[in-house]
Amino acid sequence: MTGTFNKIMLETLPAKAFKGEYAPGFRTALALKDQRLVVELAGELGLDAPVGAATYDVFGEVAKVYPDLDLSSILKHGETRDGFVARLAAQD
């Protein structure tokens, strides 16, 4: 999980999503699968993982709409669902 979010927050969002580019890199459907495995493993170990479960729920929402886009499409989903636009200013 940490690796995925580091990649999204530090690299993918600034480089792609904030520019409106969602071409597949790490597909949303694969992120959902990986997060499901995290939640299942936590359950098998008897651990409470509320953040992991919440993340799985959000990934599930995004994967229903954008399964083949990059995981950064989580931003696109938020824009569509919540009516905001998140873009970086043009760099000269």
pLDDT in tens, 47-82: 999 999 998 999 999 999 999 988 888 888 888 888
User: ∠ CA(21), CA(28), CA(14), 5° rounding?
Assistant: 35
Confidence class for position 91, pLDDT limits 50, 70, 90: low
Asked if residue 60 lies in contact with residue 19, where contact means CB atoms within 8 angstroms, the answer is: no
Stretch 79-88: mean pLDDT, rounded? 84
Asked if residue 32 lies in contact with residue 68, where contact means CB atoms within 8 angstroms, the answer is: no
Which pTM does this prediction carry? 0.72
Number of residues written out for the chain: 92
